[in-house]
Amino acid sequence: MQQPSDRAVGLVRTGPGSDRADVTVASRSGAITSTAGGELRADLCVIGAGSGGLTVAAGAAQLGVSVVLIEKDKMGGDCLNYGCVPSKSLIAAARRAHLMRTSAPFGIVPTNPTVSYKGVHDHIHGVIAAIAPNDSAERFTGLGVTVIRAPAQFISRDTVLAGDQRIRARRFVIATGSSPAVPPIPGLDGVPYFTNETIFENRGQLDHLIVIGGGPIGLELAQAYLRLGSRVTVLEAMKALGKDDPEMSEVVLKRLRAEGVEIREGALVERVTGGTRLIDVHISEGGVPAIVQGSHLLVATGRMPNVAALNLEAASIKYDKRGIQVSKGLVTSNSRVFAIGDVIGGPQFTHVANYHAGIVLRRALFRQPATVDGDIIPWATFTDPELAHVGLTEDTAKMRSGRVRVYRWPYHENDRAHTERTTEGFVKVVTDAKGRILGASIVGEHAGELIQMWSLAVSQRLNIKAMTQWISPYPTFSEINKRVAYGYYATAAANPLVRKVVGWLAKLG
């Protein structure tokens, strides 16, 4: 995005103890105006400067729409500061350490690396700092957005108060994200513990990390800290990676356990004690009590929408504990207000917030009847091996479509996987009876990258035959996607009628 040079911009700063906000606003047509009483008026007001809010603000501003962007905390939101960026940076550091220990099959003498935990911390925050300018207030004021750094709350259906500044807008977008959900475990408030918003500040070795929660966040961080030299125990009340296809998730869990992560499923956490030197987590497994003792504790039990301080009642916006209620077009019960991303519940991913942002821009600015299609949303868990999925699972497809076809292809049949010694995993594709692709799952090396072809196929409602009609460079992991699609022809070749027709054509010479 190019930064416009001919637009006056505004940055409103409010903070603890401030009595008023200093505002610089544009004065030309289509820009933000200020009333005699100091009230700002804009076409669009975005609450929350995470990935979804930033996408809406940038897109609208570049189309000449006047935009106010409100953020009470850090620009970039959860993804940049506490989520995707720091977690993948940590995973990358841990992977380097793991590769050094496991280099023997390549003819390289393995070594046990010395981990500088301060160095890992500096690496994580160096990556955040490198990306931060893209999400900064300065960049967005350069795009023509008025940025207000203050908490926001509705005071009417069409007015928000941010600090001491009133903003009235034609349309609002709530993109306030989510925060770690901390369960009401007795004794938890009496011991120190990490969440995904605090663990990336760690600068020291964690001797024995206990992770409460066996979902993607918990398992990604569990494997990373194991590879950095910690002992790790994961406690999951039900099934680890329970939202994924069991056939796929089992490959991941088997690898994590082989590396040394202790994963205890069906472990109900009853209370937590200690905290002076060691932490005792009291659990029940099948009614049998037990104690898991560790040096540090990470709570990774999901996330909750950030709605508490918005005073949504003043704007007649309906919500519950799952988040703000919206239509398929992301419109709230107040027709002036959209809500996107984590704050509405559902899949809590950065790319979902960005997808929602695109729908809002189409509806709010172009009046297009865009709606959310949950069936095309992909997700990826960045353990090693990675696990990725898009579309319908096999079970869901059977419930919706009745008769389905399932195609699989293993990594160990891929030549590039052999050169990298990463032959664990497979691709699984589900189609309807006519071959239309309904969903795909991949577990293995680069699954998060490989799933993107299937994301396109599902979104465009392609037939499985289309996935055989492209040329894949050799040797690449992407060949796996083509080979699994050829299963369609293998199935056809087994049909007696097809074989009879082929035999008859062969006799014709």
Report DSSP letters for 254-298, one per residue: HHHHHHT-EEEETEEEEEEEE-SS-EEEEEEETTEEEEEEESEEE
- pLDDT band, very low/low/confident/very high, at 502 (cuts 50, 70, 90): low
Residue 219 lies in a domain: yes
Tokens of 409: 């292809």
Q: What is the mean pLDDT of the chain?
A: 92
Residue 436 lies in a domain: yes
Q: Which residues neighbour 305 within 8 Å (Cβ) at sequence distance 6 or greater?
A: 176, 177, 178, 319, 322, 323, 324, 342, 343, 344, 345
312 in the same domain as 172: yes
- Model pLDDT for residues 19-65, shown as the tens digit of each residue: 344 343 433 335 677 665 679 999 999 999 999 999 999 999 999 99
Cα atoms in the 13 Å half-sphere on the side-chain side of 363:
25
The total of structural domains in the chain comes to 3
Closest listed residue to residue 56, CA positions, set 345, 362, 346: 362
What letters, b where the CB count within 10 A reaches 16 and e where it falls short, cover 93-129? bbeebbeeeeeeeeeeeeeeeebeeeebbebbbebbe
- Model pLDDT for residues 93-104, shown as the tens digit of each residue: 999 999 999 999
| C-alpha span between 430 and 440 (Å, rounded) | 6
Q: Which residues neighbour 395 within 8 Å (Cβ) at sequence distance 6 or greater?
A: none
150 in the same domain as 194: no
Average pLDDT estimate for 406-421: 98
Q: Which of 271, 302, 333 is the last residue of a domain?
A: 302
Domain range for 28: 11-75+136-179+305-372
388 in the same domain as 448: yes
Q: Which of 338, 372, 406 is the last residue of a domain?
A: 372
CATH assignment of the domain containing 312 = 3.50.50.60
457 in the same domain as 417: yes
Strand, helix or coil for residue 438: strand
216 in the same domain as 202: yes
339 in the same domain as 460: no
Q: What is the DSSP string of 456-480?
A: HHHHTT-BGGGGGSS---SS-TTHH
Residue 90 lies in a domain: no
Residue 2 lies in a domain: no
Closest listed residue to residue 23, CA positions, set 8, 6, 45, 2: 8
Residue 127 lies in a domain: no
What's the one-letter identity of residue 196?
A: N
| C-alpha span between 280 and 249 (Å, rounded) | 29
292 in the same domain as 311: no
Residue 105 lies in a domain: no
CA pseudo-torsion sign 396, 397, 399, 400: positive
Q: Taking the C-alpha atoms of 217, 221, 224 and 226 in order, what is their torsion angle to the nearest 10 degrees?
A: -130
Looking at residue 215, what is its pLDDT? 97
Strand partners, 323: 320
* Reduced 3-state DSSP string for 112-153: CCCCCHHHHHHHHHHHHHHHHHHHCHHHHHHCCEEEEECCEE
Looking at residue 498, what is its pLDDT? 58
242 in the same domain as 380: no
Closest listed residue to residue 172, CA positions, set 184, 154, 196: 154
Q: Which of 272, 302, 332 is the last residue of a domain?
A: 302
| C-alpha span between 419 and 200 (Å, rounded) | 34
Looking at residue 6, what is its pLDDT? 31
* 374 alpha carbon, distance to own chain's centre: 14
Looking at residue 22, what is its pLDDT? 36
Residue 296 has pLDDT above 60, yes or no: yes
Residue 129 lies in a domain: no
- Model pLDDT for residues 146-161, shown as the tens digit of each residue: 999 999 999 999 999 9
| C-alpha span between 422 and 389 (Å, rounded) | 19
Residue 3 lies in a domain: no
Looking at residue 110, what is its pLDDT? 97
Closest listed residue to residue 284, CA positions, set 297, 270, 300: 270
CATH assignment of the domain containing 484 = 3.30.390.30
273 in the same domain as 200: yes
485 in the same domain as 428: yes
Q: Which residues neighbour 372 within 8 Å (Cβ) at sequence distance 6 or greater?
A: 328, 329, 330, 355, 356, 359
Strand, helix or coil for residue 205: coil
Looking at residue 117, what is its pLDDT? 97
Read off the pTM.
0.90
Looking at residue 220, what is its pLDDT? 98
Looking at residue 401, what is its pLDDT? 83
Q: What are phi and psi of 69, to 5 degrees?
A: -120, 125
Percent of all residues in the chain with a pLDDT value above 90, rounded to a whole number? 87
Tokens of 254: 């088997």
325 in the same domain as 389: no
* 111 alpha carbon, distance to own chain's centre: 34
Closest listed residue to residue 160, CA positions, set 60, 47, 77, 73: 47
- pLDDT band, very low/low/confident/very high, at 16 (cuts 50, 70, 90): very low
Average pLDDT estimate for 448-460: 98
CA pseudo-torsion sign 396, 373, 134, 32: negative
47 in the same domain as 172: yes
Closest listed residue to residue 307, CA positions, set 337, 343, 333: 343
Q: Which residues neighbour 179 within 8 Å (Cβ) at sequence distance 6 or greater?
A: 197, 303, 304, 306
Strand partners, 445: none
